[in-house]
Copies of this chain bind each other. A is one copy, B any other.
Amino acid sequence: MANINYEILKTIGEISDSNKGWTKELNLISWNNREPKYDLRDWAPEHEKMGKGITLTGKELRKLKEILNEMDI
């Protein structure tokens, strides 16, 4: 597996945790020293391992917020 260089610049919030200790988190992450992006992803305790996730730009995050605020949830 290729080495992925990343830095968690800001831990923003925890969406949920599983019984195995993994957490779904929203963070601000720089991947390979590129411009930081928002990142919604599962993490093992202490961010030791990462699971599946997606990255979002600031614009995408604002749009997501709009959509969620229009929903009846």
Contact = CB atoms under 8 A, between A and B. Distances in A.
A2 interface: no
Contacts of A63: 13-16
Given A12-B67, A52-B52, A24 B62 contact: no
Number of copies: 2
A70 B68 CA distance: 13
Q: What is the size category of the interface that chain A forms with chain B?
A: 20 to 34
Interface in A48-65: 52-54, 56-65
B68 A15 contact: no
23 contacts: A13-B63, A13-B70, A14-B63, A15-B60, A15-B64, A15-B67, A16-B57, A16-B59, A16-B63, A24-B60, A40-B64, A41-B54, A42-B54, A52-B52, A53-B54, A54-B54, A61-B68, A61-B71, A61-B73, A62-B73, A64-B68, A65-B68, A65-B69
